Amino acid sequence: MSKSNKTTDKPTASMLSAIAAEKGMRHVVISSGSRNAPLVIAFDAQKEIECLSVIDERSAAFFALGIAQQTNLPVAVICTSGSAVLNYAPAVVEAFYQKIPLIVITADRPPEWIDQDDGQTIRQQSIFSNYCKGSYNLPVDANDTDDAWYAQRLISEAFNVATESGNEGPVHINVPFREPLYKEVEKVEMAYKIINIPNIQRRLTTELERKMLATWGDSKKMMVIVGLHKPDKELTNLLDKLAANQSVVIITETTSNMQSDKFIGNIDAVLDTLNEEDKKEFHPGLLISLGGPVTSKKLKMYLRKYKPSQHWHISVSTAHTDTFQALTHVLAVDEKYLFDLLSRQHHDTIGNYAEHWHNASAKAYKELEIYCKQAAFTDMKTMDMIMKHIPQNSDVHLGNSSPIRYANLFETDSKNGIHYYCNRGVSGIDGITSTAVGSAYATDKVTTLITGDLAFFYDSNALWNKYLCDNFRMIIINNRGGGIFRLIDSKDTPLLEKYFEAKHSMKAEELVKAHNIPYYSAKNEDELEQALNKLYADHKGKPAVLEVFTPNEENANMWAEYFNLLKNKNGK
């Protein structure tokens, strides 16, 4: 579709769209409104940028987050003024903690009308200041030379801050406009002021390298923990090389996207195979962490109790993330540089530290395989079957809170090319489906979302999206409530069913079919096997949804039974 030869008469909107294109933006997600008309007109006129229309602002922001997650490029969301802006907040927070370059562009009333009981005149400046890397308010008019210079400088700064290598994140650009809003003029190519920041190689000084390598060489038990992380084959290979050292154990989760048979990927189960004496003996002397949040609460509690002597956290942002209450060094260096450096060091192996961890991991995987074969039809059985049907070289999005925890129990094959994503930045259920839909839009790979019933219904407007792709598959595990609350301490409260679990009898079928999406269901093992095969069949240009009905209370019983089995077999 050809672009218009017209653009808005508002200078700030024109320069914002032009600089955005220059800075690598290729997608903008727009929600309907009036005050944002100059922005819509300006961005629609940019030939390098694809403009997408998603009505619901909360869903739109997560949809944009999913696109940015896949493309690693800045993606903008644009909305009108007023409460529409606040609907972006959940996605902004998630982008902040996942380090995703979401560019939040909000139209606003001119400053003299704020708080004057006129329509949508709320206080928008710095509205996301706690959860974005920068807040920028453009001048109302930029016809004056200094105003134009100022606006262009702010726009460049906003993009540079959002796309800082290794420390990406959301920024907010607030753009006030005076009426009229819809006036168009002939598009004139202009050269706007662009400020760039080149990427630099972040390394230690020679003296610090020497000190760190001396500490590494003197350590007998080293542990590397990879939290939420983008797929990175080069980094995976470096960690794999490092894991050849029998004094090193690499702990990963599905969302770390680091897969190797030399890594420990089922840490929750592993820790329950260890008695207290083993836990004390196996704790690391040196801990290195990288990436985002770790899901495993057991791992966090373990390392808070049995603290390492040193904990190095790799963070370009220099964030003092002291998850395990043992932080000693924040290393603002490139991850690959550090692990390449460490992997090239000769290290005398003493004892069988890594072997202990790998034996425990193999034992837990074996017990899970045996257990799932004879298990009743529950969430655990369902996840076992789903994980075995995921197509190779595809993407999987995992819902909070139960799906991600179940997925972390199962072994991942480093050769199947599957990448895993989850909104673990703040671990909310809002926007899970919308994020996966955005991710699917930005890739040709089959994208499967495994989600719970509450998360699905909470974000059901994600289906009200004309960009749903034929590579998108959704599996809803419907156990008629918040299943996670039966797996944690809240199971003991008499208010569980009414307030925490929020039991219900809803089904997704009618809602899915209302959007003309192929729907399948299963309530036992045979039906699930058949439905999974149908789910991944060709649906002639359409996505597809599978709803799996599992028993409510039995799910928690099976979860507890598996972990009790691990404990009892080790004399706990």
Instruction: Please report which confidence band the pLDDT of residue 485 belongs to, taking 50, 70 and 90 as the band edges.
Output: low
Instruction: Note whether residue 360 is domain-resident.
Output: no
- DSSP strand E in 156-309: where? 171-176, 184-186, 222-226, 248-251, 263-264, 286-290
Mean pLDDT over residues 459-482, rounded?
94
Mean pLDDT over residues 20-34, rounded?
97
List the one residue out of 291, 243, 251 whose CA is nearest residue 271. 251
The reply to whether 333 and 406 lie within a common domain is no
Residue type, 96: F
Domain termination site, one of 288, 320, 355: 355
The reply to whether 130 and 255 lie within a common domain is no
pLDDT in tens, 191-244: 999 999 998 889 999 999 999 999 999 999 999 999 999 999 999 999 999 999
> For residues 474 and 531, what is the distance between their CA atoms, to the nearest angstrom?
12
pLDDT in tens, 72-121: 999 999 999 999 999 999 999 999 999 999 999 999 999 998 888 887 88
Query: Looking at residue 455, what is its pLDDT?
Result: 95
Query: Looking at residue 502, what is its pLDDT?
Result: 73
Instruction: Note whether residue 195 is domain-resident.
Output: no
CATH number at residue 210: 3.40.50.1220
Structural domain containing residue 456: 375-568
- 9 has a pLDDT exceeding 60: yes
The reply to whether 232 and 272 lie within a common domain is yes
- 499 has a pLDDT exceeding 70: no
Query: Looking at residue 113, what is its pLDDT?
Result: 85
Mean pLDDT over residues 347-363, rounded?
87
- 302 has a pLDDT exceeding 60: yes
> For residues 303 and 280, what is the distance between their CA atoms, to the nearest angstrom?
10
- 347 has a pLDDT exceeding 60: yes
The reply to whether 424 and 560 lie within a common domain is yes
The reply to whether 124 and 235 lie within a common domain is no
- 572 has a pLDDT exceeding 90: no
Residue that wins the pLDDT comparison between 257 and 538: 257
The reply to whether 121 and 41 lie within a common domain is yes
Cα–Cα distances (Å) from 11 to 146, 189, 190, in that order, read 13, 13, 11
The reply to whether 165 and 236 lie within a common domain is no
Instruction: Please report which confidence band the pLDDT of residue 310 belongs to, taking 50, 70 and 90 as the band edges.
Output: very high
DSSP conformation class of 499: I
Instruction: Note whether residue 158 is domain-resident.
Output: yes
Instruction: Note whether residue 298 is domain-resident.
Output: yes
Domain termination site, one of 326, 355, 384: 355
Whole-number average pLDDT of the chain: 93
Query: Looking at residue 92, what is its pLDDT?
Result: 98
Cα–Cα distances (Å) from 432 to 94, 103, 215, 438, 459, in that order, read 11, 19, 42, 10, 7
Domain termination site, one of 186, 214, 249: 186
Query: Looking at residue 119, what is its pLDDT?
Result: 76
Would you say 90 and 58 are in contact if contact means Cβ atoms under 8 Å apart?
Answer: yes
pLDDT in tens, 394-441: 999 999 989 999 999 999 988 899 999 999 999 999 999 999 999 999
Query: Looking at residue 568, what is its pLDDT?
Result: 82
Instruction: Note whether residue 234 is domain-resident.
Output: yes
Mean pLDDT over residues 151-164, rounded?
98
pLDDT in tens, 114-147: 888 887 888 999 999 999 999 999 999 888 999 9
CATH number at residue 61: 3.40.50.970
Instruction: Note whether residue 198 is domain-resident.
Output: no
The reply to whether 169 and 237 lie within a common domain is no
Alpha-helical segments (H) within 331-431:
335-343, 353-374, 379-389, 402-407
- 149 has a pLDDT exceeding 70: yes
Query: Looking at residue 488, what is its pLDDT?
Result: 58
The reply to whether 429 and 345 lie within a common domain is no
Q: Provide φ and ψ at 175, rounded to 5°.
A: -125, 100
pLDDT in tens, 285-294: 999 999 999 9
- 1 has a pLDDT exceeding 70: no
The reply to whether 167 and 223 lie within a common domain is no
Q: Note the Cα 296 to chain centre separation in Å.
A: 16
Residues pairing with 474 in the sheet: 449, 545
Q: Which residues contact 1 (CB under 8 A, 6 or more apart)?
A: none
Cα–Cα distances (Å) from 270 to 286, 302, 464, in that order, read 20, 12, 42
- 2 has a pLDDT exceeding 70: no
Instruction: Please report which confidence band the pLDDT of residue 350 belongs to, taking 50, 70 and 90 as the band edges.
Output: low
Query: Looking at residue 328, what is its pLDDT?
Result: 98
Mean pLDDT over residues 546-571, rounded?
86
The reply to whether 409 and 538 lie within a common domain is yes
Structure tokens at 448: 């499967």
Instruction: Note whether residue 237 is domain-resident.
Output: yes
Q: String of b and e for 381-411 (b: at least 16 CB within 10 Å)?
A: bbbbbbbeebeeebbbbbbbbbbbbbbbbbe
Mean pLDDT over residues 1-22, rounded?
90
The total number of structural domains that make up the chain: 3
The reply to whether 520 and 408 lie within a common domain is yes
**75-79 and 27-30 beta bridge pairing:** parallel
Instruction: Note whether residue 196 is domain-resident.
Output: no
